[in-house]
């Protein structure tokens, strides 16, 4: 259930809430009941936000209602926080500047935690769906608002993402990894190391698990994908909370991968990975088959000749792949 600001209701029935102790609760209750009675479906919609009578009366009759009004007002006065709770809309840098410091108010933090848990999960799921590890790392700073009992709900989507990621690296090898190249590219260019390193203690075990499976996968393909292995290794180096044994393996492997890439560059290679060359080959074959099929129906003596489309595709992909790899190493 999304949060609905009680302050908006007080504005609607024109009740002054500047001094919570002076709010005429019985009068507010009568006014709101009258408002709900006038609604055909029993739902009161204000500024696009739907209010349910039962939820409103439950809050109004809460033993700590007067004290809670102060917290509702605090949310109302911070529009970035209000939009997050009511609409799952978030601008993380603005939120950092506008309301992050509110976590220092312990009573407010306790009030906010169960309200924030669902929105926190929604934001994290959205960021991880797009592999936006940089923003996900920043969002984890807001974990300070969460109480232990609300953490499970807040990280539900994160756990699913991490379980799927573990499965990805666990089940790939040098014979099967090419079918997952699109997803692997996201891990190659994403800043996932700092994100993993800041997981809460309740998800601490994922750090070692991810480190272990990424290490094993990198060793498996190190001769085929030198640039990819180095990129993955660079992110593993951020896992300072991993076990000492794994950190030592990461550092040793990282030196090997750096040496491999250095030797490859000195050798005057194109810098394009085996996987990329295979992808280009697949595109080439598909175009050849397409051209052959179309042309052979008109010319029994069909002969393959240079295709401008084919030349453009190959040049474009080679240029893009090379630029990305060089940018990563700068």
The full 3-state SS of the chain, as one line of letters, equals CCCCCHHHHHHHCCCCCCCHHHCCHHHHHHHHHHHHHCCCCCEEEECCEEEEHHHHHHHHCCCCHHHHHHHHHHHHCCHHHHHHHHHCCCCHHHHHHHCHHHHHCHHHHHHHHHHHHHHHHHHHHHHHHCCCHHHHHHHHHHHHHCCHHHHHHHCHHHHHHHHHHHHHHHHCCCCCHHHHHHHHHHHHHCCHHHHHHCCCHHHCHHHHHHHHHHHHHHHHHCCCCHHHHHHHHHHHCCCCCCCHHHHHHHHHHHHHHHHHHHHHHHCCCCCCCHHHHHHHHHHHHHHHHHHHHHHHCCCCCCCCCCCHHHHHHHHHHHHHHHHHHHHHHC
Q: Report the pLDDT value the prediction gives residue 273, as an integer from 0 to 100.
A: 52
Q: Report the pLDDT value the prediction gives residue 307, as an integer from 0 to 100.
A: 44
Q: Report the pLDDT value the prediction gives residue 263, as an integer from 0 to 100.
A: 86
Q: Report the pLDDT value the prediction gives residue 87, as an integer from 0 to 100.
A: 93
Exposure string for 18-51, b = 16+ CB within 10 A, e = fewer: eeeeebeeeebeebbeebbeeeeeeebeeeeeeb
Q: Report the pLDDT value the prediction gives residue 276, as an integer from 0 to 100.
A: 52
Q: Report the pLDDT value the prediction gives residue 265, as an integer from 0 to 100.
A: 80
Q: Report the pLDDT value the prediction gives residue 302, as an integer from 0 to 100.
A: 29
Low-confidence ranges of the chain (pLDDT < 50): 270, 277, 283, 285, 288, 291-330
Q: Report the pLDDT value the prediction gives residue 284, as an integer from 0 to 100.
A: 52
Q: Report the pLDDT value the prediction gives residue 2, as an integer from 0 to 100.
A: 82
Q: Residue for token digits 């990461």?
A: 250
Q: Which of 109, 115, 111, 59 is nearest to 88 (CA)?
A: 115
The answer to whether residues 17 and 69 touch, using CB atoms and an 8 Å cutoff, is yes
pLDDT in tens, 38-90: 999 999 999 999 999 999 999 999 999 999 999 999 999 999 999 999 999 99
Q: Report the pLDDT value the prediction gives residue 165, as an integer from 0 to 100.
A: 98
């Amino acid at each position: 259930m999304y949060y609905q600001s009680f302050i908006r209701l007080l504005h609607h029935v024109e009740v002054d809430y500047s001094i919570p102790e002076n709010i005429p609760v019985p009068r507010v209750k009568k006014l709101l009941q009258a408002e709900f009675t006038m609604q055909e479906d029993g739902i009161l919609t204000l500024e696009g936000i739907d209010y349910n009578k039962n939820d409103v009366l439950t809050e109004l009759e809460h033993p700590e209602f007067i004290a809670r009004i102060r917290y509702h007002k605090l949310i109302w006065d911070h529009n970035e926080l209000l939009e997050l709770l009511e609409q799952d809309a978030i601008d993380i840098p603005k939120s950092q500047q506008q309301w992050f410091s509110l976590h220092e108010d312990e009573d407010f933090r306790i009030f906010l935690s169960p309200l924030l848990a669902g929105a926190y999960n929604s934001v994290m799921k959205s960021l991880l769906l797009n592999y936006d590890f940089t923003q996900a790392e920043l969002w984890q700073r807001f974990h300070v608002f969460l109480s232990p009992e609300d953490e499970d709900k807040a990280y539900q989507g994160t756990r699913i993402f991490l379980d799927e990621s573990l499965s990805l690296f666990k089940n790939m090898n040098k014979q099967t990894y090419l079918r997952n190249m699109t997803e692997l590219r996201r891990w190659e260019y994403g800043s996932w190391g700092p994100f993993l390193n800041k997981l809460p203690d309740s998800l601490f075990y994922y750090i070692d698990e991810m480190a272990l499976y990424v290490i094993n996968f990198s060793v498996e393909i190190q001769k085929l994908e030198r640039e990819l292995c180095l990129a993955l290794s660079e992110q593993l180096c951020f896992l300072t909370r991993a076990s000492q044994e794994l950190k030592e393996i990461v550092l040793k492997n990282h030196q090997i991968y750096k040496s491999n890439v250095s030797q490859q560059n000195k050798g005057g290679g194109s810098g394009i990975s085996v996987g990329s060359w295979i992808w280009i080959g697949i595109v080439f074959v598909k175009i050849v088959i397409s051209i052959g099929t179309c042309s052979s129906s008109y010319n029994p003596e069909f002969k393959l000749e240079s295709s401008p489309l084919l030349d453009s595709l190959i040049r474009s992909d080679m240029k893009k792949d090379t630029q990305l790899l060089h940018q990563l190493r700068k």
